[in-house]
Structure 1
């Protein structure tokens, strides 16, 4: 989870005494042995200097990091108990059930792999600890007592047979020594550890055991399964609700997708968007639709949530949306038509084999909706930085507005250098990811200060004013994104409850509310600007009449004069 830097990290703030006690009690509930230890010692687990900072990981999972004395001690995501970092586990090495492996396998975990079943070895007791699916476990080298990683079980330990030929994942790694979470601290090494690649820690193993486990470095590398076929749901690697199928990226845990995998994931996103966003019931009101609108409003939001932001048309074999959908048209799923130089989707074959047996999965759109909900509830200031879904919550009765940006000018050059489609549209979260990917590819992080980014020639053209060319040489990640967004062409996606998203050019306009005193003490409230959000004025008047227990009127059409200057000759009124 922390194999890459987090995409967003807020400033740390001191926890109030009440919040610190609440977090400590939550931790005690999750780890009763710690409560017993500190109760007997008459001390507290959480130091008075404990601080918290909100973050969003590179796989778009929001959470909170808790630090003290310069070291991250705990982290927490949505619906998880407090999870200890290696700094905390080195102080309490037995707080979690421990699974054991070989040194070379741990090196693979540090490179971003999950722990595979062939990489497991029995611990000192000669068995695996009794843990259930989804339980937190620590991971260490056989013969070494201090944990080096923490993760969640993919399957119960009772179903895992060591050295039986079983394959697949045993543990999904959340945090490991030497990752970016560890690097936020003082970067101290594990206690009494000489070399992870050493075999000095192996004890009580006979020749047969050593022979059978002599090549863990290769068995620890995650399998690279082929992406599932369109009509074949992907097997989950994490516990998922029974009503929701696991997305294909739950199998392909690595984010380094091949071109073939990108192609397949784009097809999966198309099928998902057609069946569960556009839907046969809404087809009549949506079609015809331009291929660019279909891509932006239906395909991109329907990408699988894990790793979905890595999937875009530029990385596919088609390179362009038009070529992609023309290839789909040849299969008989869609019917396209050229109109005034623009390709439009005219009809959809809902009985096509590719749409049969497709199950819903967790999408990028749902992920962003969760981020919006959690951030707006916990931190109103962060709400504007983490844009939510434009339609996921529309069914709750609220109009959703999502800001979208299209690269133009120097920003388009930057996107092209980052190997992104400069003709596509991006949410602010996706723009940030493009910037982070470009920073990593070009190795622009300041080695002396990891929070600062060196401004190269492309970034200079894209975000700096001419007067800053000779004076500004380094900026923070958030500063770069905040400067880049105004350089891009703004659009916004408006979603009304029960209706399909509407893409509009420009930034969303504000609704003006004006209160006036009329005829003595009578108060009149005037609303203007609702039309830009697709609201029907007649319906709005009726609703306001009910909600406010008052009268609501609109200006009759006969008093509205439209001066059409686009007509030839004199204007039409």
Structure 2
């Protein structure tokens, strides 16, 4: 149900009478919870919100949020606990056990199939069809998913543990979990973990690949995923072949010097040992992203560089902190976009301060250098074999990826009749291809193609009103296809979309301003070169100034652009148009059509 993001309709503080009703409903639905447990989950005075939302399939869902973490959710008048609640009270629901590698499938929306269920020595829990139940993984009693049983325990065994066992509603790492503080499950030893290696998947010979035992009879989880909280290792731990498990699991447990364990310890999430364990790819990428972020702040970013464009921070600092053999890809993390990750670091951990200094372009304006998590972070011993150089450091720079610029067109009131059949109203934003497709469909539907020459379109009253000038009403009866498309787009409002790597698309009205290069005269008729609008294309003006200064050995100055907020003008001595153009075209790979003023460069002198 929460495999994809849901849409929030309202978020309000819960009334006292509603809290009493919720406590009664929770007590009736989950008898395993004591009165004190229910009061802790539904307190009388603490902040408790009720959130009305719609799942991606349109299901109406009610969320009950305590201290910014969802504790219960209600669907069709049935109430269910979230994983945050079950981590506090793991015995609330009967639980089925599966293999850790199955967790990724559950978070992606898959149901739990019976061949992937691990049958413990004491047998399966007794459930009836439709009963709410939890899912745990081998050697950890902390539930990682919530669902409803598709059949009773007796029917499961009668079918030889084949087919679908639990219909999953919510799982660790899905969008409902992400609505909270994104903490990880605690390590709660299973009472029969000593027998874990002897447990077998039900469904002899029909074990799914992701839940299959290892070649030596032990589960693959035993060798590479002792439990979900192995990431609570600390930097001081050694790699002398020690096993990291829990005492009940028969292995020695290593704790941090502070005695902390679990995901609440922020720094230990980026332990250099994380690559030893078999975690879902999304969680692995989250940890790598966090490691590179802290490493970049501690070792790469200087106070004098602030404010620093977030795109520059990613390209020049975070990428260079990625361990060799690894590839940092934000799209494969749970955040999906750099902006979401950085805002999380700002709002939840208060490590950085992000501001939009110019419209649509965010920058890091401050870093909490004395933050305990940043100060205690130790960069991994393994260094990158070849660090990515800083923007503008020379010809060996990391290739600059310019933003993807897409022209867009907005349906105007005058042209709305042409787009009504396609359900596009005034204000709809369309790409050129969409405009051509819709206009072509309109022509064909109204049979406007000229019978004698199919290159021409007959003008009907709607086209006449939308595309022709008043002086053309009596004169123009036909238009060529190209002329039809051109006139349509000319009558529409212009817009464009900027897509920076790792960021949300930015849509702006009008046409994008080109990078402007101009030459001006200063005192004593000295020439200076001025460059503006670099920020629109994700180029750091300070980095551009440094590159020019090194290349032409001339002084540079950064000045605010007159009449514009938060824009910076780069000024360099002499006529350096050719050098600026070379850097923009070759190093930053900005298309020539987005650079204005290249013709103002000095022409080579004639040979005598």
Question: TM-score scaled by structure 1?
Answer: 0.38
Larger Rg: 2
Question: TM-score scaled by structure 2?
Answer: 0.36
